[in-house]
A and B are shown apart, each in its own frame.
Chain A
Amino acid sequence: MNPGATDLQPERQLVAQLTGFARYARAQNFNVGLQENVDSQRLAARIGVTDKRQLRQGLKALMCCSASDWERFDTMFDAYWERDQPRQNSLASIGGKAPRQSALAQSRHTGSDALFDVPDANALDAVGAGDGNMSHGGASATESITSRNFDQLQDATELRRMEELAERLARRIRQRLLRRQRIDRRGERIDMRRTARASLRYGGLPLSLSFRRRRRQTPKLVLLLDVSRSMSVYSYLFLRFARGILGAFKGADAFAFHTRLVHIGESMREPSRRKLREKMALISAGWDGGTRIDKSLEAFNRHYARNVLGSRSIVIIVSDGYDTGKPEDLRLQLQRIKRRTRRLIWLNPLLGLENYSPSTRCIMAALPLIDIFAPAHNLASLSELEQHLAGV
């Protein structure tokens, strides 16, 4: 396995090096299974050892699975082959430039400032691995959320019941939708295949028609949760709610925002509670601060909307609407979201208070664009969501 060994045949040596590289790439989370390993050997046999640039390009096509893989492949490739073969530095410099990186860098420069850059998974990993203090600080933040009260609820058992209720509710919404699909039996279009088959019986006359009805799909829910300080009383409930939704709805996604946007969908899906806590601790730095709804939504539109939103998605924004940004900016971002979705729902916990009327500038600007503006201060109000979702 020692790549530098000289007593091996050149081909054997290459095989060993490639296997080592495959293992290394797998450790770096690249898509390298047995098939890829075999293919890379075939590839190398055809290309030969001499043409390192083509070897790089070939392996890149073989082992990458996504745009992010594509970006980091060259670094990984260099890291391995340079470590093992300091003499072959030339191979790093030839084909190694990724044009994508420059384009990305440019868009970052022209686009948002550093504060609103969306942290990607790698960056989060780096934070978690590199800085123990950070993770500790995050953990305590989670704890503070956990022990915070949901309005009148005080003790831990009550809290747990709340979690369960939220999850159950989320599941019930889905079930209700599914049952409606079944009851709706009216056909819309003639099913030619079945009709043709059935008409064999009547000598070719299509006497009995078969119908096909369009399948009703469950909506794709996208939650945008405000986790700023003004919402801190409610954020825990809504995080649990988000977890229930994510578990119950296929294709649902969730984001949290305060002064910037954090993608929490992946982490919230974590089945183990302990791991969930750890993950949330990692990404909850900076929560309970101020709010920039417009900037957060802008980041959402810029980085995620294209992938996350579709014609059957419903966006639910949970926020009290206390924002420090300009109302026009918020309006613009909401317009962009609305254009891509079927329905835009804004849940406002304050709406449940008796003497509250939505009069902040922010809410006033947003109201015309919102399909459903509803209170969400307790479970009963949340369960009314069911009606809104079922009708879609």
Chain B
Amino acid sequence: MQAALDHMRQRVADAGYIADSALLTSLWLMSELNRPLLLEGDAGVGKTEVGKILAEVFERSLIRLQCYEGLDVNTAVYEWNYQRQLLAIRRQEILHEEGLSEEQLFSETYLMKRPLLQSISAAQPSVLLIDEIDRADEEFEAYLLEVLSDFQISIPELGTIEANSIPLVILTSNGTRELSDALRRRCLYHYIDYPDYDKELRIVLARLPEVGANLAAQIVAFVQKLRQQDLRKVPGVAETLDWTGALLRLDMKSLGDNPDAVVATLGCLLKTREDLDAMPQEVVHRLVSKAS
């Protein structure tokens, strides 16, 4: 088991993701127990990334289902290819062919597989990433629960489709809506917090090694300080990386060299006008001097 974990740690690190041991344990556990993993945490802490990394680590294909309000079975599970069906009927009529029965019309040829069906009908086990499940309606959540426990999908015209392979399922949630207890109970749970200084530094260095240890340390210290301010939208790791990229373009060597550039690029970190207004130049300069 230790060997499996170490292997996983190595593979995850190779993929450029810095995961703490708790997350690794959760990932290992979900493959071991075959249960979905529910990831929660604020926006931009790298939840979606976990799904992609997992696909890479297990060398499986990643199937992603982005949830939104009003998501229904037709976009999540399957849909008939109506245009093709209509064409087939017309073609048969014109060519006076025989025998396009209703059964044929509703066969797999005319079936468009959407992410959920794709993932369970794949020959090789895949990684199914159900992103932002909290944005979908409660009804869809209930349906999803059924699919996740039985791994079968019933299509009225075709009958029940059993899973060829059981995918690894990752669900992410931002907490825009409270998820049902049933879904929570069904899943393993992991909360991803904003990384601390050390972890964030490692992430920045792993993703953008050209930034250099000195600037990276300053950037991370600055962002960490920024997160302690009273902000409407706290910058996540994704924002830190964006900002680092922006500073790299500007050929910055140290934050202290050019505090005005910091102010100018602050839009990478703060995404609302209120937050930008709440960070006047003096405050930014003070944070810069603290960070460098």
Listed in ascending order, the chain A residues whose CB lies under 8 Å from chain B are: 31, 33, 39, 42-43, 46-48, 51, 53-54, 57-58, 60-62, 64-67, 69-70, 95, 99-100, 102-103, 106-107, 109-111, 192-193, 195-196, 199-200, 203-206, 306-307, 310-311
Most buried by A among B21, B33, B40: B33
- Given A61-B189, A95-B21: A200 touches B89 (CB 8 Å cut-off): yes
Residues of B within 8 A of A62 (CB): 29, 33, 188
Further contacts, 7 of them, CB under 8 A, given A110-B229, A200-B105, A307-B176? A31-B185, A43-B33, A57-B21, A60-B22, A61-B189, A106-B228, A203-B93
Q: Are B25 and A58 in contact (CB under 8 A)?
A: yes
B194-217 interface code vs A (CB 8 A; 1 in, 0 out): 101000000000000000000000
Q: Does B102 interact with chain A (Cβ within 8 Å)?
A: yes
- Given A99-B196, A110-B228: A307 touches B21 (CB 8 Å cut-off): no
Binds A, one of B78-86, B120-128, B236-244: B78-86
Chain A residues touching B, majority SS: helix
B78-117 interface code vs A (CB 8 A; 1 in, 0 out): 0010100110111011000000001001000000000000
Residues of B within 8 A of A61 (CB): 22, 25-26, 29-30, 37, 188-190
Q: Does B260 interact with chain A (Cβ within 8 Å)?
A: no
Instruction: For chain B, give the interface size range.
Output: 35 or more
Q: Are B90 and A54 in contact (CB under 8 A)?
A: no
Residues of B within 8 A of A193 (CB): 74, 80, 82
Q: Are A100 and B29 in contact (CB under 8 A)?
A: no
Q: Does B5 interact with chain A (Cβ within 8 Å)?
A: yes
A-B residue pairs in contact (CB < 8 Å), sample of 26: A31-B184, A31-B185, A43-B29, A51-B2, A54-B21, A57-B25, A58-B25, A61-B26, A61-B190, A65-B185, A67-B191, A70-B190, A103-B193, A192-B82, A193-B80, A193-B82, A196-B80, A196-B82, A196-B85, A196-B86, A200-B102, A203-B89, A203-B93, A204-B89, A204-B90, A307-B177
Residues of B within 8 A of A65 (CB): 181, 184-185, 189
CB distance from B100 to the nearest CB of A (A): 9
Most buried by B among A42, A54, A61: A61
Complex A-B, nearest 7 residue pairs according to Cβ-Cβ distance, in ascending order: A204-B89, A57-B25, A61-B26, A65-B184, A70-B191, A64-B189, A192-B82
Q: Are B230 and A111 in contact (CB under 8 A)?
A: yes
Cα distance, A249 to B105, chains bound together (Å): 43
- B176 nearest in chain A by CB position: A306
- Given A106-B228, A196-B86, A203-B89: A67 touches B188 (CB 8 Å cut-off): no
Q: Does B251 interact with chain A (Cβ within 8 Å)?
A: no
CB distance from A19 to the nearest CB of B (A): 18
Interface residues of B in 1-59 (CB under 8 A from A): 1-2, 5, 21-22, 25-26, 29-30, 32-33, 35, 37, 40
Q: Are B193 and A199 in contact (CB under 8 A)?
A: no
Residues of B within 8 A of A58 (CB): 25-26, 29
CB distance from B180 to the nearest CB of A (A): 11
Contact of B177 among A42, A43, A310 (CB under 8 A): A310
Q: Are A195 and B185 in contact (CB under 8 A)?
A: no
Contact of A33 among B40, B74, B90, B185 (CB under 8 A): B185
Cα distance, A100 to B191, chains bound together (Å): 9
CB distance from A200 to the nearest CB of B (A): 7
Cα distance, A67 to B177, chains bound together (Å): 13
